[in-house]
């Protein structure tokens, strides 16, 4: 009994630092933010009033920039989740089908994920503003002579390109690990039965890596909803507010434009609830498919 108690205490001591960090940097700020979202605090003044759900109502009824940024974020999330996972899965399948140079290709495609997002994004700014225009000028390709970051109809796809380039590496590794975990005898039996590559992918590979798909979609959903640095470095939300994501709108409300910390906290809580609801739905649906598979 004494040994069991000592083991429990030792385990708690190992968990305690992480739990303390969780409380200090996540749980307590979350509780404070929830409270401030019900006030008109400006982030500086000690005197503020309790306004109830007024901030939440105002966000949806009297703040066009919030709705615009929310819709743009939703558009970005949909395309980022689809393209990042599709490209990552395709790369994983192609690399795993190779008999040689697997390590080389894995390193090449994973490398962008190791770079600082800000540094890599500034490199892409140079590509969009200097390299591509020079290529278009030298080759006479008029279709490349567009404002990649200044035209609202094009800047979204520029942001998405950089997002996919920097995000597929980690997802590719997860998919490759799942593919490597498929029992070899299943593949051999399917090959003997005359299964073609498409049928192999549909009926064997995809069902057996559905757990990896659940993880990757979960990761891309969360990171896409909370994207900030990538958009900030590429377009700073412009031109105008045409590429402003919800995180930029929240920070602008709190620190850059109106200093309405309570109102910004309400927007942050709304974002949290949206992410929570979508994530719970996504995980529950995909987990059921894992069981069926």
Contacts 24+ apart (CB under 8 A), 58-62: 58/263, 59/263, 59/266, 59/267, 59/270
Superfamily for 72-292?
MetI-like (1.10.3720.10)
Q: Where are the domains of the chain?
A: 72-292
Local confidence band at 293 (pLDDT 50, 70, 90 cut-offs): very low
Cβ proximity of 79 and 163 under 8 Å:
no
Report the pLDDT value the prediction gives residue 2, as an integer from 0 to 100: 56
pLDDT at 19 over 80: yes
Q: Rounded to whole angstroms, how far apart are CA atoms 94 and 227?
A: 29
Q: Rounded to whole angstroms, how far apart are CA atoms 197 and 186?
A: 13
Q: Rounded to whole angstroms, how far apart are CA atoms 169 and 11?
A: 34
Report the pLDDT value the prediction gives residue 3, as an integer from 0 to 100: 66
Cβ proximity of 73 and 221 under 8 Å:
no
Nearest 5°: the CA angle 113, 114, 115 is 95
Report the pLDDT value the prediction gives residue 262, as an integer from 0 to 100: 92
Please state the rounded mean pLDDT for residues 242-268. Answer: 89
> The tokens 């412009």 sit on which residue?
238
Local confidence band at 161 (pLDDT 50, 70, 90 cut-offs): very high
Q: Each residue of 29-71: pLDDT tens digit? A: 889 989 999 999 888 888 889 998 999 999 999 989 999 999 9
Query: DSSP letter string over 172-238?
Result: HHHHHHHHHTS-HHHHHHHHHTT--HHHHIIIIIHHHTHHHHHHHHHHHHHHHHT--HHHHHHTTT-
Helix, strand, or coil here: 171?
helix
Please state the rounded mean pLDDT for residues 160-173. Answer: 93
Q: Rounded to whole angstroms, how far apart are CA atoms 42 and 36?
A: 10
Q: Rounded to whole angstroms, how far apart are CA atoms 77 and 284?
A: 19
Please state, rounded to an integer, the average pLDDT across all residues of the chain.
88
pLDDT at 292 over 60: no
pLDDT at 172 over 90: yes
Report the pLDDT value the prediction gives residue 137, as an integer from 0 to 100: 85
Phi, psi of 28 (to 5 degrees): -65, -45
pLDDT at 291 over 60: no
Model-level pTM? 0.89
Q: Each residue of 109-158: pLDDT tens digit? A: 998 888 888 888 889 999 998 888 888 888 888 778 888 888 888 899 99
Report the pLDDT value the prediction gives residue 8, as an integer from 0 to 100: 80
């Amino acid at each position: 009994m004494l040994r069991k108690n000592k083991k429990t205490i030792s385990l708690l001591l190992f968990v305690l630092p992480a739990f303390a960090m969780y409380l200090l940097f996540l749980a307590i700020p979350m509780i404070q933010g929830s409270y401030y979202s019900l006030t008109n605090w400006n982030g500086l003044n000690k005197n503020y009033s309790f306004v109830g759900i007024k901030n939440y109502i105002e966000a949806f009824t009297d703040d066009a920039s919030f709705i615009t940024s929310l819709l743009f974020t939703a558009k970005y999330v949909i395309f980022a989740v689809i393209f990042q996972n599709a490209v990552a899965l395709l790369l994983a399948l192609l690399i795993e089908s190779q008999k040689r140079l697997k390590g080389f290709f894995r390193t090449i495609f994973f490398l962008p994920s190791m770079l600082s997002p800000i540094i890599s994004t500034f490199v892409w700014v140079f590509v969009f503003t200097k390299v591509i225009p020079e290529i278009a000028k030298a080759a006479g390709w008029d279709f490349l002579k567009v404002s990649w970051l200044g035209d609202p109809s094009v800047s979204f796809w520029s942001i998405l390109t950089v997002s996919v380039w920097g995000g597929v590496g980690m997802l590719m590794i997860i998919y490759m690990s799942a593919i490597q975990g498929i029992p070899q005898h299943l593949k051999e039996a399917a090959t003997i039965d005359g299964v073609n590559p498409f049928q192999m992918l549909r009926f064997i590979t995809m069902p057996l890596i559905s757990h990896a798909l659940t993880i990757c979609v979960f990761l891309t959903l969360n990171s896409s909803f909370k994207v900030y640095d990538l958009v900030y470095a590429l377009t700073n939300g412009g031109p105008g507010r045409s590429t402003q994501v919800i995180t930029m709108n929240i920070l602008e409300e709190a620190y850059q434009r109106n200093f309405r910390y309570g109102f910004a906290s309400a927007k942050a809580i709304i974002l949290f609830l949206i992410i929570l609801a979508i994530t719970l739905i996504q995980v529950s649906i995909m987990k059921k498919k894992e069981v069926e598979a």
